[in-house]
């Protein structure tokens, strides 16, 4: 090795002296930073080493310092420590020019923009509490930091070592003591300053962890959260105990989306009179999501009041409210819905036409078959309508007495002819002369005798 240095010295003049001085300064800097953090130095290379290295530790943490190689930053620090189960599968690195969907987002916008996160969602939420995120962001401001393979790594210029090393050690100690997953998630739900993070931890808690007293308590606390979205989600997950909170959201006019979510969860549990009152205000104020959520419940209410509202909305609206009303009329199972739905097959809005066709599949009779066919032919480019019309005709056929699959058809010769394949008694047909005339073949003598 000494001959290599002598050879370089001959070639580069005073350059080698500068390199040796730089390595000596770097080793002194590392030792000083390690001592300031309470680390014990286990060993290092000499200034004559091709790449300077130093190892230090403070049980159970081990720290490795490495000098530059192939254009790296001045110093690379690797911190090795015992993490919780699954920690080796977690990878957190600086986000570089990525515009698509991220692997994981924890709900802290600044952090999610800065880092790309991979690994088990439950463990990621546990590890990235407010303190850990703050340490990572501060370290990232002075270095290129990442977590991968169960190690914490950072690359930086030499002057940043005394600033970055304490951050890395604090972070490693925080991660090493994360053992009680449910407890950590519940604490994050209650205390994290970011609403998005509280919501993420809440969802992980109820979906991926065993249900128990700690989860129940976290949900009750979250029902009083300062974030409306956290309160709403907690109330939904809490079940019957959260119905009071849901009712507040359902009757609130502050946020159309949250009101609609609450109404869909409550459904027919909410008295019809209150749903009608909420709908009237939402329809008047053009809060369409809330209005649609109310209309959906009217379809299964089984009441004349709900039916009449659906009929009025379908007749008067030219928006998604009309499509929702058509769908809800299909769920009423009422034959009175058919004459309301047939004209909607000719509406200008595609979603209204498709909704009407699908609803007729549920409540339509033979009288709806010809309008369904004509609508599909008129709007032949609307593939969704063609599909819905065919399906509706098939569903109507399945309800006809004596019909078997494939028997109901529209004759190709003249518009308006409906027939069942000529097989035996019970055949249904439309006469060929008077359009739309429905008839059954006369029974033969054998039938009369029976």
Peptide bond into 183 cis (omega under 30): no
Least confident of 67-71, 115-119, 145-149: 67-71
Question: What is the DSSP secondary structure assignment for residue 47, as one 8-state letter?
Answer: T
In angstroms, the CA 174 to CA 21 distance is 37
151-156 and 75-80: which strand pairing? Answer: antiparallel
383 contacts: CB under 8 Å, gap ≥ 6: none
114 sits in the region (left: phi over 0; alpha: psi -120 to 50; else beta) called: alpha
> Phi/psi at 209 (nearest 5 deg)?
-115, 155
d(CA 306, CA 284): 17
380-405 pLDDT, tens digit per residue, is: 999 999 999 999 999 999 988 765 54
Which pLDDT tens digit goes with each residue over 216-268? 999 999 999 999 999 999 999 999 999 999 999 999 999 999 999 999 999 99
The residues near 231 (Cβ < 8 Å, ≥ 6 apart) are 222, 223, 224, 225, 245, 249
Q: Which of 432, 426, 419, 421 is nearest to 444 (CA)?
A: 426
Which residue would you say has higher pLDDT here, 189 or 18?
189
Query: Could you tell me the pLDDT band of residue 445, with boundaries at 50, 70 and 90?
Result: very low
Q: Confirm if 156 and 142 have CB atoms less than 8 A apart.
A: yes
Please choose, from the candidates 237, 210, 205, the residue with its C-alpha nearest in 3D space to the C-alpha of residue 223. Answer: 237
CA distances from 445 to 382, 402, 428, 449, 450 (A): 49, 20, 19, 6, 9
pLDDT for the residue 416: 42
Within 10 A of 450 (CB to CB), how many other CB atoms are there? 7
Beta carbons within 10 angstroms of residue 399's beta carbon? 12
Q: What is the pTM of this model?
A: 0.78
């Amino acid at each position: 090795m000494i001959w290599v240095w002598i050879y370089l010295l001959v070639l580069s003049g005073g350059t080698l002296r500068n390199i040796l001085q730089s390595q000596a300064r770097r080793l002194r800097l590392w030792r000083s930073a390690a001592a300031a953090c309470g680390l014990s130095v286990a060993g290092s290379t000499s200034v004559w080493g091709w790449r300077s290295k130093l190892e230090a530790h403070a049980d159970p943490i081990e720290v490795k310092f490495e000098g530059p190689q192939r254009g790296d930053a001045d110093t690379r620090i690797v911190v090795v420590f015992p993490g919780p189960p699954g920690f080796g599968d977690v990878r957190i690195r600086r986000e570089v020019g990525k515009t698509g969907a991220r692997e994981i987002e924890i709900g802290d916008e600044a952090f999610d923009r800065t880092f790309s996160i991979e690994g088990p969602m439950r463990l990621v939420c546990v590890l990235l509490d407010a303190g850990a995120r703050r340490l990572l962001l501060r370290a990232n401001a002075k270095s290129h930091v990442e977590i991968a393979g169960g190690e914490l790594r950072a690359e930086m210029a030499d002057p940043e070592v005394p600033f970055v090393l304490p951050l890395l050690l604090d972070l490693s100690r925080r991660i090493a003591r994360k053992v009680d997953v449910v407890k950590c998630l519940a604490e994050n739900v209650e205390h994290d300053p970011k609403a998005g993070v509280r919501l993420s931890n809440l969802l992980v808690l109820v979906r991926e962890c065993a249900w128990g007293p700690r989860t129940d308590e976290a949900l009750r606390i979250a029902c009083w959260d300062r974030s409306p979205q956290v309160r709403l989600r907690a109330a939904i997950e809490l079940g019957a105990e959260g119905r009071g909170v849901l009712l507040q959201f359902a009757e609130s006019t502050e946020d159309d989306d949250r009101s609609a979510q609450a109404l869909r969860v409550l459904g027919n549990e909410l008295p019809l009179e209150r749903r009608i009152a909420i709908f009237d205000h939402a329809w008047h104020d053009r809060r369409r999501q809330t209005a649609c959520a109310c209309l959906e419940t009217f379809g299964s209410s089984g009441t004349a009041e709900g039916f009449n509202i659906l009929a009025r909305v379908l007749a008067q609206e030219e928006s998604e409210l009309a499509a929702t009303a058509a769908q809800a009329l299909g769920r009423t199972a009422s034959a009175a819905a058919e004459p309301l739905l047939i004209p909607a097959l000719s509406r200008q809005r595609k979603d209204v036409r498709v909704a009407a066709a699908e609803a007729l599949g549920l409540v339509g009779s033979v009288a709806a078959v010809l309008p369904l066919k004509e609508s599909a032919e008129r709007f032949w480019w609307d593939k969704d309508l063609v599909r819905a019309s065919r399906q509706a005709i098939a569903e109507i056929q399945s309800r006809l007495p004596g019909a078997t699959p494939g028997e109901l058809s529209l004759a190709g010769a003249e518009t308006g002819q409906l027939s069942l394949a000529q097989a035996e008694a019970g055949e249904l047909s439309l006469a060929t002369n008077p359009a739309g005339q429905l008839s059954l073949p006369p029974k033969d003598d054998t039938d009369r005798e029976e």
